[in-house]
Amino acid sequence: MQILDGFKRVRAATALGWSRLYARVDEVSGVDAKLRLAELHAGRGLSELEEGWLVRSLYREDSLTQPQIAQRMGRHKSWVWRRLMLVESLVPDVQAQVHLGLIRPRAAVAVSRLPRGNQVAASKVVIRRGLTVAQTDLLVAEVLDADETTRNVLLERRLHTPATGTIPGPRPSRATRSEADWMSADVLRVHEISARLQARLLATPPCTLAPAAAELLDDALRRLSPVLRSLDAVIARATSAREGAA
């Protein structure tokens, strides 16, 4: 028998010397127990990292496919993939720090955006300086903007100096955009994302990542190719129609 929810109540009852505590007993499989855990926390919510641990357990230990997990949890397949990638890309040392309560789960999510070789150093800065989640986001952005060869030097410097930087406030409301404005913005965003993805793939090929993360990324890249081909076909059709109208 294993407790799924109510750990604090059990500890409190034990501390008070209670010999009996009412509980509901459900006979469920290991998979159903994990899914029940997610349901029990649906109101107050698990952190992204905790969701990632749960998804990884279903995927790695119980051999459920990503579509099966998505269906059982009432989520989209992309949500399952993102949670898997989050956990697989975060080094075990930082995950252990989250388990020990040394770093907040949301701060660890921010740290996971860094290359694996910089994550432990960044987490030390977060812990030593007591950074908030917003300040951790700023630190990660600063490290990513730095040259790869100087990132650990920057983090070492931040470890021994107070964190600086202005936490961004609420964004001003945007004016209503036309359809042409939206499409122009999307085109620009595709250019930026494409350039960034190309640079990252060249600088850090999937084969250099942890095997589990590399497996997920390879699958995602293969599924991206037909999406890009479809977009290319639509662009060709749209531009040829414009030229014909002219």
Confidence of residue 26 (pLDDT cuts 50, 70, 90): low
Please check the confidence at residue 123 and state whether its pLDDT lies above 90: yes
Query: pLDDT of 27-61, one tens digit each?
Result: 666 777 777 766 666 656 677 888 888 888 888 88
Check: pTM over 0.85? Answer yes or no.
no
Flag whether 103 is in a domain.
yes
Distances, alpha carbon 67 to alpha carbons 45, 48, 52, 76, 214, in Å: 22, 19, 15, 8, 19
Q: Which of 110, 115, 113 is nearest to 126 (CA)?
A: 110
What's the DSSP call for residue 22?
-
Q: How far apart are CA 166 and CA 183, in angstroms?
A: 32
**Average pLDDT for 188-192:** 81
Phi and psi at 118, nearest 5°, equal: -105, -5
Quote the domain boundaries for residue 242: 206-246
Flag whether 79 is in a domain.
no
Higher-confidence position of 129 and 2: 129
Q: How far apart are CA 31 and CA 233, in angstroms?
A: 42
Flag whether 175 is in a domain.
no
Which tokens sit at 183?
Answer: 């499409």
Q: Among 3-12, 51-60, 80-89, 213-222, whose mean pLDDT is lowest?
A: 3-12
Beta-carbon count within 10 A of 11 CB: 10
Confidence of residue 165 (pLDDT cuts 50, 70, 90): very low
Residue that terminates a domain, selected from 114, 132, 164: 164
Q: How far apart are CA 74 and CA 91, in angstroms?
A: 28
Flag whether 230 is in a domain.
yes
The domain total for the chain is 2
Q: Which of 20, 94, 34, 95 is nearest to 69 (CA)?
A: 34
Average pLDDT over the chain, rounded to an integer: 80
DSSP per residue over 126-155, as a string?
HHHHT--HHHHHHHHHHHHHS-GGGHHHHH
So what's the pLDDT on residue 127? 92
Both 103 and 155 in one domain: the answer is: yes
Flag whether 10 is in a domain.
no
**Average pLDDT for 227-240:** 88
Which tokens sit at 243?
Answer: 């030229």
Q: Which of 211, 59, 219, 221 is nearest to 67 (CA)?
A: 59
Distances, alpha carbon 93 to alpha carbons 9, 81, 102, 136, 139, in Å: 30, 22, 11, 17, 19
Judge whether 118 and 143 are in contact, CB under 8 Å.
yes
Confidence of residue 166 (pLDDT cuts 50, 70, 90): very low
Both 98 and 159 in one domain: the answer is: yes
Flag whether 245 is in a domain.
yes
Flag whether 22 is in a domain.
no
Please check the confidence at residue 194 and state whether its pLDDT lies above 50: yes
Flag whether 47 is in a domain.
no
Q: How far apart are CA 196 and CA 77, in angstroms?
A: 24
So what's the pLDDT on residue 237? 86
Q: How far apart are CA 17 and CA 12, in angstroms?
A: 9
Residue that terminates a domain, selected from 107, 142, 164: 164
